[in-house]
Structure 1
């Protein structure tokens, strides 16, 4: 299999510039002779697999530096470090999910108050203005 850069990009669901960006970051190889200048890029199954891994790791929330480390771990079979990284990512996602669930609950309460149709300021706008005022007060103290 010999894919062009556009075919590789299409197979991975990304743009050509994304492939080039990953090459500059060292996540994907640059198949041109010498890695620069003219010449056509030709990619194979390993490149498709690696691009798929990068996309999956990004979807799981890993940043590019972590993805580069994971790719290196794949070559070294350091499963303990890969597991440690996955567990750290899970902890981070759990914190984000808890924060989003609190935000969802607060918005549900505010929407219910808003639906009550009482006169006066909108509870949603008032709550956000209050949050902004508290943040300004906290930043001026610290």
Structure 2
């Protein structure tokens, strides 16, 4: 199938498909080209792209996705291996949530200070932006 059909079947843009190819997540051999040099994508490539899309939808990075694909290629994507990677991702997400909660708390506190102190300033500029 050509890239347009592959794009329609996966819901990925042509640019995304080309990007994944450039990154080495999918590969097209010379013999998988038509006489006019158009790339002919296989069902295997379709399934690989759908797998990539699924992994990315779980929030995994491109590098993490590549690790999953390597496990699949080696027939080593056991539930234990996948669960380990998912637990690592959950830990990272929890860390990020904590960082965002701390940031939110700090911003909220500073907003209160800003709103209560701005009226007492000689300048029109908010004192929260001052480094003095």
Q: Structure 1 length normalisation: TM-score?
A: 0.66
Match of 2:108 in 1: 108
Decide whether the 8 Å contact of 1:31 with 1:43 is kept in 2.
no
Decide whether the 8 Å contact of 1:5 with 1:43 is kept in 2.
no
Question: Structure 2 regions of 5+ residues with no counterpart?
Answer: none
The count of aligned residue pairs is: 125
What pairs with 1:1-142 in structure 2 (closer than 5 Å)? 3-30=1-28, 33-34=31-32, 38-44=37-43, 46-75=44-73, 76-79=75-78, 80-116=80-116, 117-120=118-121, 122-126=126-130, 129=131
Residues in 2 aligned to 1:110 and 1:51: alpha-carbon distance in whole angstroms = 45
Question: Structure 1 regions of 5+ residues with no counterpart?
Answer: 131-142
Task: Find the residue that maps to 1:33 and give its secondary structure.
Answer: helix
Residues in 1 aligned to 2:8 and 2:103: alpha-carbon distance in whole angstroms = 37
Decide whether the 8 Å contact of 1:31 with 1:42 is kept in 2.
no
| Moved segments of 4+, more than 6 Å | none
